[in-house]
């Protein structure tokens, strides 16, 4: 079939498929297989995540049906009387993670700033490596160090001091007063802070280092101090990565089991004071799962696991929302 | 190259099957018996060739595995009732005796000095007695350097047969405990801090001053803990000694316990240590694999007759001969 030329002597362009999006150029078989394979791997992650959530929900169904919403705010955990309530583990998980974040984020921030802006070049390598080594320490070592070294220190010096000086302050006083046994939510939160420090620091250090030099140099040329460069140039530029780093650390703190079970006290009692022992979801499951001798007990523990899933999901959703609103604020300013 | 590989593979196969004809007995359950069971199985394997593979996953796990039929025997610190045994077709018998001691961490108190009574221990664990210089403690311990300090109660955070026997004993001596808390492998502790495993309780008691906890006898000895004496039902203060445990085992009413369903605490003898406990083995009355079941019974028979030295070396107490005879009669009638 011959193609006629038009009045100018040119030929019409060759027939192309109607779908001209970049992803739909002509694919060979190998490309299609590769695309399918990688898509399958991505789908596998989603399927595993969804499957785990559904499995935990299924296992916890008996507990949810027996107790209903009361499961979420009952603090009674009685294996003999078959009454279970998740309030104390949920509270312990959230409080210890909150303490960890409050302690770790400023320190990580300081370390990252020091390593990228302030430290002499010969110091950056060793300190950075030391921080990364902290991440390689197994969590049970943190637990043992916490129990044998940190707890006596807290019980002998820190908690009595806080009892006298912070426990008497008006609003936050009750949080920081109590019997100085050393084992409790404050100690657990501190150990968690040390554990999540390297993760947050590593990400912050990488992104602060990736801020383009031109941006920082322009700010300095306009007369900014080092702190103003950091707060007005580096931080806004790396905002989403910094928030991501914080939530990475928070995720680790929420799920940490062994270090927490050594120093948290594993007591199913609710108390306002941070000096008192509490319980966390991961520690409760790790401690009690093997000996859970009734179906309701097992179901309650699996339901606790599902609730941890939910808590992590909510935290992640909050992170995304915060990033979105910050991004929108940026958009409005620009 | 290929020939070397094939030769090596063949040699490995021969080595692995070298024990062909020897039985591989599997068991699972209580962590309390794990040290002594593994020592017994090592010695038994050397002598007779049969290997015993025991997984210490906890009493609850042991019960569910034997009910599922995945192991040849299960081990539990908490005995099953005859009704439950009959429903599952299981037989139950004790294998080794242990004891639970209260341990303290008080400056100036040496091991075996502090005296407790059952009701006092219950009141401490209920949170009613909160201070070491409470009149109730001073009444039993005149002249002891008891400090004016709050008692930190340590209990188990994980489910455990040790907890079951401790809580059962407290329920026997204190009606308030029985009504309020009850007995179970995991109970709702009114006060206190939970340590994971006997090791966790030992670590906490060692670290926290003015604390009290409860431990298996083996852990008390190995960690040099400051144990206390407990007043038994005859009114005498007995410490955790082998003689006390065997007196308790001998006088506990085994003869009338169907399927040995008896918690040995608060035994009546004057020389008995009151918080003595035993671990039970569960096996099928009509096992699926008769050869392995028979091999397991042979193993336990050997352990009762020849395993006393091993058990004593690990701070366990072997069953008294009268109880061993009763168990042999039980096997003859119950387990095919």
**Chain segment B163-182, per-residue pLDDT in tens:** 889 999 999 999 999 999 99
Cross-chain residue pair A292–B207, CB shorter than 8 Å: no
Instruction: State whether B208 and A155 contact (CB < 8 Å).
Output: yes
Q: Which of residues 139-158 of A touch B (CB under 8 A)?
A: 147-148, 151-152, 155
Shortest alpha-carbon distance between residue B92 and chain A (Å): 18
Residue A18 has pLDDT above 70, yes or no: no
pLDDT value, residue A334: 43
Cα–Cα distance measured from residue A263 to residue A144, given in angstroms and rounded to the nearest whole number = 9
Please check whether residue B114 is in contact with residue B229, taking contact to mean a CB–CB distance below 8 angstroms: yes
Per-residue pLDDT at A71: 93
Sequence-separated (6 or more) residues with CB below 8 Å from residue A192: A96, A97, A99, A100, A104, A253, A256, A259, A260
> Backbone dihedral region of A313: left (phi > 0), alpha (psi from -120 to 50 degrees) or beta?
alpha
> What residue in A sits closest to B178 (Cα-Cα)?
A80
Nearest CA in chain B to A258: B196
Could you tell me if A171 lies within 8 Å of chain B, comparing CB atoms?
A: no
For the cut 60, the answer to whether the pLDDT of residue A83 exceeds it is yes
What is the least distance, in Å, from the CA of A155 to any CA of chain B? 8
Q: Do B159 and A182 touch (CB under 8 A)?
A: no
Question: What does the pLDDT average to over A299-307?
Answer: 94
Q: Residue B17 and residue A41: Cα distance in Å, rounded?
A: 41
Mean pLDDT, residues A23-31: 74
This complex has an ipTM of 0.77
In the predicted model, is pLDDT for residue A168 greater than 90?
A: no
For B184, which residue in chain A has the nearest alpha carbon? A80
Q: A80 and B159: CB-CB below 8 Å? A: no
Contact A183 B194 (CB under 8 A): no
Q: Does residue A288 have a pLDDT over 60?
A: yes
Question: Closest residue of A to B168, CA-based?
Answer: A80
Is pLDDT at B17 greater than 60 in this prediction?
no
| Nearest CA-CA distance, residue A265 and chain B, Å | 5
Is it the case that residue B184 has pLDDT exceeding 60?
Answer: yes
Q: What is the pLDDT of residue A22?
A: 52
Distance CA A155, CA B59 (A): 35
Number of Cβ pairs closer than 8 Å across A and B? 98
Contact A183 B160 (CB under 8 A): no
Chain A residues with beta carbon closer than 8 angstroms to that of B207: 147-148, 151-152, 182
Q: Is A182 on the interface with B (CB under 8 A)?
A: yes
| Cβ within 8 Å, pair B207-A148 | yes
Residue A175's pLDDT is 87
The per-residue pLDDT of chain B, averaged, comes to: 88
Which chain B residues are within 8 Å of A269, Cβ to Cβ? Answer: 191
Average pLDDT along chain A: 88
- Spatial separation of the C-alpha atoms in residues B5 and B7, rounded to whole Å: 5
Q: Name the closest residue on chain B to residue A184, using Cα atoms.
A: B193
Chain A environment of B194 (Cβ under 8 Å): 265-267, 277, 279, 287
Select from A152, A181, A297 the Cβ nearest to the Cβ of B193: A181
Please say if the pLDDT value at position B22 is more than 80.
no
And the tokens for A26? 């002509």
Provide the shortest C-alpha distance from residue A267 to chain B (in Å).
Answer: 5
Report the percentage of chain B scoring pLDDT > 90.
46
Report the sign of the C-alpha dihedral through residues B131, B135, B136, B138, in that order. Answer: positive
pLDDT bin (cut points 50, 70, 90) of residue B18 is very low
Mark yes or no for CB contact A266/B159 under 8 Å: no
Residue of B nearest to A278 (CA): B193
B300-310 average pLDDT score: 90
With CB atoms and an 8 Å threshold, state whether A287 touches B152: no
**Region A73-100 average pLDDT:** 92
Min CA distance, B207 vs chain A (Å)?
7
Which pLDDT score is estimated for A2? 63
- Nearest by CB to A293, which of B185, B196, B209? B185
**pLDDT at site A316:** 84
Are A291 and B61 a contacting pair at CB < 8 A? yes
Question: At residue A86, does pLDDT exceed 90?
Answer: yes
Cross-chain Cβ contact B196/A261 below 8 Å: yes
Please check the confidence at residue A185 and state whether its pLDDT lies above 80.
yes
Q: Name which of A187-191, B9-13, B182-186, B294-298 the model is least confident about.
A: B9-13
Q: What is the pLDDT of residues A209-232, one digit of tens each?
A: 899 999 999 999 999 998 999 988
| Cα torsion angle, A321, A325, A330, A334, sign | positive
The closest CB to that of B157, out of A79, A179, A266, belongs to: A266
Q: Which helix (H) or strand (E) holds B204?
A: helix B197-207
Q: Which of A293, A296, A304 to mutate to test the interface with B (most CBs of B within 10 A)?
A: A293
Centroid of chain to Cα B180: 24
Alpha helices in chain A (DSSP H): 29-59, 61-67, 70-73, 87-113, 121-136, 139-145, 151-153, 159-165, 185-209, 213-221, 226-229, 235-237, 239-255, 258-263, 281-288, 295-333
Q: Which residue has the tokens 């107790």?
A: A67
Nearest to A80 among B150, B182, B208 (CB): B182
Most confidently predicted of A33-47, A264-278, B212-226: A33-47
| Whether B194 and A152 lie within 8 Å, measured CB to CB | no
| Predicted TM-score (pTM) of this structure | 0.82
* B178-185 contact pairs (CB < 8 A, 24+): B180/B126, B181/A80, B181/B126, B182/A80, B182/A81, B183/A80, B184/A79, B184/A80, B184/A293, B184/B159, B185/A79, B185/A291, B185/A293, B185/B59, B185/B60, B185/B77, B185/B78, B185/B159, B185/B160, B185/B161
Question: What is the structure's pLDDT at B316?
Answer: 85
Of B1, B106, B66, which is closest to residue B281 (Cα–Cα)? B66
pLDDT of the residue at B175: 95
The mean-pLDDT minimum among A19-33, A70-84, A123-137, A184-198 falls in A19-33
Whether A260 contacts A283, CB under 8 Å: yes
């Amino acid at each position: 079939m011959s193609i006629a030329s038009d009045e100018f002597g040119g030929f019409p362009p060759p027939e192309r498929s109607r779908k001209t999006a970049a992803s739909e150029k002509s694919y060979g078989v190998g490309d299609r297989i590769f695309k399918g394979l990688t898509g399958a791997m991505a789908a596998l992650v989603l399927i595993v995540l969804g499957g785990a959530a559904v499995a935990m929900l299924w296992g916890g169904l008996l507990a949810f049906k027996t107790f209903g919403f009361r499961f979420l705010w009952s603090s009674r955990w009685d294996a003999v009387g078959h009454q279970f309530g998740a309030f104390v583990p949920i509270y312990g998980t959230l409080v210890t993670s909150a303490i960890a974040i409050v302690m770790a984020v400023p320190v990580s921030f300081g370390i990252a700033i020091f390593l990228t802006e302030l430290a002499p070049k010969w110091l950056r390598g060793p300190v950075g490596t030391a921080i990364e080594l902290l991440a390689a320490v197994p969590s049970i070592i943190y637990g043992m160090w916490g129990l044998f070294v940190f707890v006596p220190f807290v019980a002998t010096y820190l908690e009595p001091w806080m009892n006298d000086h912070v426990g008497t302050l008006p609003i936050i006083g009750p949080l920081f007063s109590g019997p100085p046994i050393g084992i409790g939510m404050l100690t657990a939160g501190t150990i968690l802070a040390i554990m999540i420090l390297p993760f947050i620091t590593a990400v912050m250090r990488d992104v602060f280092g990736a801020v383009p030099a031109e941006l920082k140099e322009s700010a300095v040329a306009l007369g900014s101090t080092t702190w103003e460069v950091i707060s007005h140039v580096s931080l806004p530029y790396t905002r989403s990565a910094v928030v991501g780093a914080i939530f990475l650390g928070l995720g680790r703190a929420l799920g940490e089991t062994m270090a927490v079970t050594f120093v948290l006290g594993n007591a199913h009692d609710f108390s306002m004071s941070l000096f008192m022992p509490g319980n966390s979801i991961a520690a409760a499951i790790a401690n009690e799962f093997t000996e859970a001798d009734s179906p309701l007990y097992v179901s309650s523990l699996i339901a606790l696991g599902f609730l941890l899933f939910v808590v992590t999901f909510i935290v992640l959703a909050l992170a995304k929302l915060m990033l979105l609103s910050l991004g929108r604020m940026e958009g409005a300013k620009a | 190259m290929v020939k070397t590989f094939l030769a090596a593979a063949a040699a490995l196969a021969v080595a692995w099957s070298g024990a062909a004809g020897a039985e591989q007995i599997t068991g699972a359950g209580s962590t309390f018996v794990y040290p002594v069971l593994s020592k017994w199985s090592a010695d038994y394997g050397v002598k007779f060739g049969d290997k015993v593979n025991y997984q210490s996953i906890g009493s609850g796990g042991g019960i569910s595995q034997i009910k599922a039929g995945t192991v040849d025997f299960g081990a539990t610190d908490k005995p099953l009732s005859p009704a439950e045994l009959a429903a599952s077709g299981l037989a139950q018998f004790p294998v080794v005796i242990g004891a639970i001691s209260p341990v303290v961490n008080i400056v100036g108190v040496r091991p075996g000095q502090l005296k407790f009574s059952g009701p006092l221990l219950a009141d401490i664990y209920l949170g009613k007695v909160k201070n070491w210089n409470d009149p109730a403690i001073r009444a039993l311990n005149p002249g002891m350097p008891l400090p004016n300090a709050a008692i930190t109660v340590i209990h188990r955070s994980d489910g455990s047969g040790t907890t079951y026997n401790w809580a059962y004993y407290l329920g026997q001596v204190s009606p308030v405990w029985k009504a309020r808390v009850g007995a179970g492998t995991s109970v709702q502790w009114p006060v206190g801090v939970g340590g994971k495993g006997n090791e966790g309780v030992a670590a906490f008691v060692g670290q926290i001053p003015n604390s009290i906890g409860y431990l298996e006898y083996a852990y008390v000895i190995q960690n040099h803990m400051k144990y206390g004496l407990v007043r038994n039902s005859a009114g005498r203060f007995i410490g955790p000694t082998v003689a006390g445990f065997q007196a308790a085992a001998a006088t506990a009413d085994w003869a009338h316990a169907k399927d040995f369903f008896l918690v040995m605490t608060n035994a009546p003898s004057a020389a008995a240590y009151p918080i003595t406990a035993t671990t039970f083995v569960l096996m099928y009355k009509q096992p699926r694999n008769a050869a392995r079941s028979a091999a397991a019974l042979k193993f336990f028979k050997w352990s009762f007759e020849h395993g006393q030295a091993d058990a004593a070396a690990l701070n366990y107490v072997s069953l008294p001969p009268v109880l061993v005879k009763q168990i042999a009669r039980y096997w003859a009638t119950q387990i095919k």
